[in-house]
Amino acid sequence: MTETDAIAPARRGVIEQGITRAFPLLAGGLAASPALLAVPGSDEPLAIFTVQLSVIVALGLVVTVRIMPLADGAWFAGYDWSLRARLWAAAAVLVVLPTGVVGLLTLASSAALRFDPSLQFLQLLSALDIAWAGAALMVGTRWLWGRTAALVAGGMLGILCVLSVWNYLRVVGFGPDGGWVVRADEMMTLILPFDTAAAVMAIASLIGGIRRRAASGQPGFEAPRPR
């Protein structure tokens, strides 16, 4: 057996578990998307937009909850990386998985709802932004304070970010055919402060969680054995 053959199973194990846990929600969401073709179109789709974004954000949080226990797994154990490097790599995978699911579901459902292309773009940006920040915050918070704190933090972030997008659309309204109207002043005051705060909290929680995990040396992230 070559060195590569010995490393590959250790690398695949936890990642494959994450994909397996995320895939049913992705497949179910994609399968359900065509049903949205029955929803009537509107030039003022505030309610439909908000409900769709809320559902997709909730699904992203559910995916994160399903894969979050894998944060304690033996990620990249076959590599001679530093402990912190493996923790960052594990966090990256745990954030990318739910963010990818959210992106695909947003594209499918927005197209099925026949939103104006500019509004579909806003929906995709909003969903991806909330998904990565929520996943990162939940993973970091779990490493710091446990599962319950992670659930509360992720839920609150999702609610506040969805409300910020809803409030922007409520104040600014829609363009012709329900398009996204971009107004710099309202973006700076109604959306960007929430996005910035979410990103800061997400990154700070990951930094704190990784520091704590690295200092504790808990099972699953022991330093690699010398060859």
| 98-144 per-position pLDDT tens digit | 999 999 999 999 999 999 999 999 999 999 999 999 999 999 999 99
Assess whether pLDDT exceeds 50 at residue 1. no
Assess whether pLDDT exceeds 80 at residue 6. no
Instruction: State residue 75's pLDDT score.
Output: 86
| 106-118 per-position pLDDT tens digit | 999 999 999 999 9
Residue 220 binned pLDDT confidence (cut-offs 50, 70, 90): low
Residue 218 binned pLDDT confidence (cut-offs 50, 70, 90): low
User: Percent of the chain beyond pLDDT 90?
Assistant: 78
Which residues lie below 8 Å from residue 190, measured CB to CB, with a gap of 6+? 164, 167, 168, 171
**Which H, E and C letters describe the chain, residue by residue?**
CCHHHHHHHHHHHHHHHHHHHHHHHHHHHHHHHHHHHHCCCCCCCHHHHHHHHHHHHHHHHHHHHHHHHHHHCCCCCCCCCCHHHHHHHHHHHHHHHHHHHHHHHHHHHHHHCCCCHHHHHHHHHHHHHHHHHHHHHHHHHHHHHCHHHHHHHHHHHHHHHHHHHHHHHHHHCECHHHCECCCHHHHHHHHHHHHHHHHHHHHHHHHHHHHHHHHHCCCCCCCCCCC
Residue whose entry in the numeric block shows the structure tokens 């690295």: 214
Assess whether pLDDT exceeds 50 at residue 10. no
- Please provide the average confidence, as pLDDT, over all residues in the chain: 90
| 35-78 per-position pLDDT tens digit | 999 999 888 899 999 999 999 999 999 999 999 999 988 888 77
Q: Which residue did the predictor score with more confidence, 61 or 79? A: 61
> Which range (4-8, 16-20, 93-97, 203-207) has the least confidence?
4-8
pTM: 0.89
Assess whether pLDDT exceeds 60 at residue 9. no
